[in-house]
Structure 1
Amino acid sequence: MADTEKKAMVIFAHPVPESFSSALHTRVVETLKSQQWQVDDCDLNAENFPAVMTCEERRSYHDETININPVKSYVERLQAADAIVFVYPVWNFGYPAILKGFFDRVFLPGVSFKLVDGQVRPALTNVKKYATVTTYGGTRLRAFMAGDPPRKLMTRPIRYVMNGAPMQYLALYDMNRASDQKRAAFLAHVTRHMERF
């Protein structure tokens, strides 16, 4: 595959355009483009992604002939990606609701996983690498004491459906007390990783 054909999907979840998460999102997109990635910039809030699964969606969840219909365009974008970068803040030791809704509605049977004889098998084998860029309001110790569910979700089940693809987890802890210098250092850290992505 030629470098010019590399396709990265950036999935961003934060409603506030002047937020630090938004600055991280912009930096990720710009840096990937500078490295000749073709970027599909999926800003869930800007696209008004409907996060709530409907009754009918849940009823047809396991029917792979129709389950993608309500979110077909997002499934196609996901399946076209060679790499994915998630950019979002950790809120209440979890994803923002809109990102959780994206996983619920788009990471469907036949899309992100297949059920084979009752066993879950990875289906997002088109994704060769992925990264998470995130911030935590609390300290690393506080996250550790809570089991750090966001890190575990991204490094275990999400990685599994991508067939164990290489991944990076870039996190700024203690965001609530982060100085301008600390935020600038994290932006630089993210830039370096995206340049080598």
Structure 2
Amino acid sequence: MRTVIVFNHPYEGSYCNAILKSVMNGLHKADQDVDLIHLDNDRFDPVMTKEDLKAFLDRKPVDPVVLNYTERLARADHLIFIFPIWWEMMPALTKGFIDRVIFPGVAFEFKEKGHGMNPLLKNLKGVTVITTMNTPRLLYRLRYGNAVKKALLTGTFFKLGYRNLKWINLSMVKSASDKKRRKWLNDIEAKFASPN
């Protein structure tokens, strides 16, 4: 199994970085091949250019960084996103990754007749999104409508035809005790160390 992780957090001391380490430890224990796309360290440009839009219409990415990412995604059995929720949404680099990398002719194709799309990443068996936030979980669901879930899982990958979509959302991280934070990290490592 090959897992591609798309990671987005600029601060090395963040809790998201601790989550990344737990995920990678778990995957290595499960003897998985792990490919890390670190958007911040790569200095990924999230801005969709006019060249990107032309490439979108032609169904052929032109940016070398995007081409590299698409080649790596094509070999993925599992895709994991890890990022913080800022102002109730994903950070700009993660949104830019979706805009510029989840591309027609690469990740999906429009159906010839009617509405809808067909998935093209044939190896991809599942997508997991892991997020941190300081908003209480119930408030995020009721007032903000689980915006990340709707945008990324339902509005992107489900719409494209991918299934086995999971969301692990850790809420009120800033106020969580050290004990609770350690438990979350241990649980995450154990989850990804399991072969199921």
TM-score (norm 2): 0.90
Q: Is the 8 A contact 1:133 1:190 kept in 2?
A: no
Q: Is the 8 A contact 1:21 1:89 kept in 2?
A: yes
Q: CA deviation at 1:25?
A: 0.7
Q: Is the 8 A contact 2:55 2:61 kept in 1?
A: no
Q: Which amino acid aligns with 1:55?
A: K
Distance in 1 between residues matched to 2:147 and 2:121, nearest whole Å: 22
For residue 110 of structure 1, give the secondary structure of its aligned residue in structure 2.
Answer: coil
**Cα distance per residue 1:63-82 (max 9 Å; x no partner):** 12xx3121211100011111
Name the residue aligned to 1:174: 172
1:141 to 138, 141, 160: 138
Q: CA deviation at 1:45?
A: 0.5
Name the residue aligned to 1:3: none
Q: Is the 8 A contact 2:22 2:186 kept in 1?
A: no
Name the residue aligned to 1:68: 61
Q: Does 1:132 align with 2:125?
A: no
Kindly tell me the number of residue pairs found equivalent between the two proteins: 190
Name the residue aligned to 1:26: 21
Structure with the larger RCO, 1 or 2 (CA within 8 Å, 6+ apart) = 2
**Cα distance per residue 1:121-160 (max 9 Å; x no partner):** 2222321122111111100122012101112233313332
Distance in 1 between residues matched to 2:165 and 2:11, nearest whole Å: 27
For residue 56 of structure 2, give the secondary structure of its aligned residue in structure 1.
Answer: coil
Q: Is the 8 A contact 1:127 1:162 kept in 2?
A: no
1:99 to 87, 94, 101: 94
**Cα distance per residue 1:22-67 (max 9 Å; x no partner):** 1101111121012110100111111111111112211331212xx3
Distance in 2 between residues matched to 1:17 and 1:86, nearest whole Å: 17
**Cα distance per residue 1:91-136 (max 9 Å; x no partner):** 1111110011011000011122211235322222321122111111
Q: Is the 8 A contact 1:170 1:190 kept in 2?
A: no
1:111 to 100, 106, 109: 106
Q: Which amino acid aligns with 1:31?
A: G
Q: Is the 8 A contact 1:114 1:121 kept in 2?
A: yes
Q: Does 1:187 align with 2:182?
A: no
For residue 20 of structure 2, give the secondary structure of its aligned residue in structure 1.
Answer: helix
Deviates more, 1:124-133 or 1:143-152: 124-133
Q: Is the 8 A contact 2:28 2:193 kept in 1?
A: no
Q: Does 1:78 align with 2:76?
A: no
Runs of at least 5 residues in structure 2 that lack an aligned partner in the other structure: none
TM-score (norm 1): 0.89
Distance in 2 between residues matched to 1:185 and 1:158, nearest whole Å: 31
For residue 84 of structure 1, give the secondary structure of its aligned residue in structure 2.
Answer: strand
Runs of at least 5 residues in structure 1 that lack an aligned partner in the other structure: 1-5
